[in-house]
Amino acid sequence: MDKYVINGGNKLSGKIRIESAKNSVLPIIAGSILTNQQVVIKNCPKIKDVYAMLEILSYLGGKWTFEQGDLILNNASLNRYDIPKELASPVRSSVFMLGALLCRFKKAKIHQPGGCNIGKRPIDLHILALEDLGVKTECLGEQIICSAKEIKTNNIYLNYPSVGTTENIILCSVLSKGKTQIFNAAKEPEIVDLMKFLNSMGAKIYGAGTSTILIDGVENLSGTEFTPMFDRIECGTFMLATAITGGEIELSNCNAKNISLLTNKLCNNTCKITINNDIIYIKSGGKPKGFSFATNPYPQFPTDLQAQTMSLLCVSEGVSTITENVFENRFNHVNELVKMGADISVKGKTAIVKGVKRLNGKTVTATDLRGGASLVLAGLNAEGQTTVENVYYIERGYSDFDKKLRSLGADIIKQG
């Protein structure tokens, strides 16, 4: 398995352009099957989760190719509606195909989706919502078999503002005859992006980004050329890498309003941050001060930045508490950080972090995407050499992570 070998202590400096958002591109790829015309996703990140979705498309009969950084999709020849275990279980985003396949074929058969092991990750809310749209669902072992005479319209009240469920309802009902409303919808910016993408194809969706979304079904959707939003989690990860190494970098292709909570925390934490249009400039102001936060659905602190922020807090002054409210098992990186000398104790869904002067280089193992990124950040700070194993997890969501860090002055190499 590939690993990163890092010699800590270098301050990051330089410029980096942030990629398009993984969690925007994945549901958009699912949405591309709702037209037989060409769909172009500009500047699509070449990450493992994208390739996993493209493998599903190929299996279903779709065609795709990369031209420079753009992903060109054509799903006119799509002729299957089943996704087998080997294609569904590597990624959570396979679940988005449920809504899109039901919209196109009125039937779908998918194996239980996978994704990072950060909790049970059930899909009960997806199933309840699809049933509200008139879909008949049957679970045979780990197979989910769905069918509908037609996709009904409805008012759907989500018990929890689930991102994937909100996206699945939109994908399933965008061609229905009539209006569907989602109440207590997730408000993540990536859902706004999915709405913009589908509306650029002729859909009539309103209200994404708020807790009430209206989908007014249309007859059909045309092709489109779409540039997804920036990856706010990649952006936050590099900002935290700058803070943990005491460096200063410039990030472009950003929208600071989508990452304001982290920016505010870092500003109060000794970093100087200036924003100029799509550029964020961050300069560390020396030893960071600890702070506490709790993760919650957008616009609260993003769960996808919890692990990376924990690494910074491990070497910040004072005691910080982190409460993980979104996933029930998203502290797998704690034991690995403790191996590096971090002082962390976990009580239920709260981690108490006592800042230490500096971490020590060790061999540690990534167990999920964002936890793996947090270990890299810890290695950038640590005294001596850190080896992060199982970097496959990291490469699911970050393209050329080691290369980008090296371009900013980090001493990091990838070894097979």
Query: Which residues are at the interface with ligand EPZ (CB under 6 A)?
Result: 22-23, 26, 92-93, 116, 119, 121-126, 160, 162-165, 186, 188, 303-304, 326-327, 369-370, 397
Residue 44 is among the residues annotated as catalytic for this protein: no
Question: Residue with CB nearest ligand EPZ?
Answer: 164
38 in Cβ contact with 67 (< 8 Å):
no
Residue 327 or 331 having the CB closest to ligand EPZ: 327
Q: CB of 366: closest distance to ligand EPZ in angstroms? A: 12
Nearest to 171 by CA among 35, 315, 337: 35
For the bound state, the minimum distance from the C-beta of residue 278 to ligand EPZ, rounded and expressed in Å, comes to: 22
The one catalytic residue in 116, 146, 172, 254 is 116
Which C-beta is closer to ligand EPZ: that of 36 or that of 112?
Answer: 112
189-199 vs 22-31: helix crossing angle, rounded to 10:
30
What is the rounded radius of gyration, in angstroms, for the C-alpha atoms of the chain? 21
Q: Which is nearer to ligand EPZ, 365 or 374 (CB)?
A: 374
- For ligand EPZ, the closer of residues 23 and 269 by Cβ is 23
CB atoms within 10 A of CB 225: 12
CB of 121 to ligand EPZ, least distance (A): 5
Q: State whether residue 154 is helix, strand or coil.
A: coil
CB nearer to ligand EPZ: give 349 or 414.
349
Q: In whole angstroms, how close is the CB of 411 to ligand EPZ at the nearest point?
A: 26
Question: How far lies 26's CA from each of 2, 15, 53, 155, 197, in Å?
Answer: 24, 26, 7, 25, 12
Least Å distance, CB 76 to ligand EPZ, is 26
Residue 65 C-beta-side C-alpha neighbours within 13 Å? 3
What whole-number distance in Å separates Cα of residue 416 and Cα of residue 363?
A: 15
Residue 276 near residue 290 (C-beta atoms within 8 A): no
- Active-site residues: which are they? 116
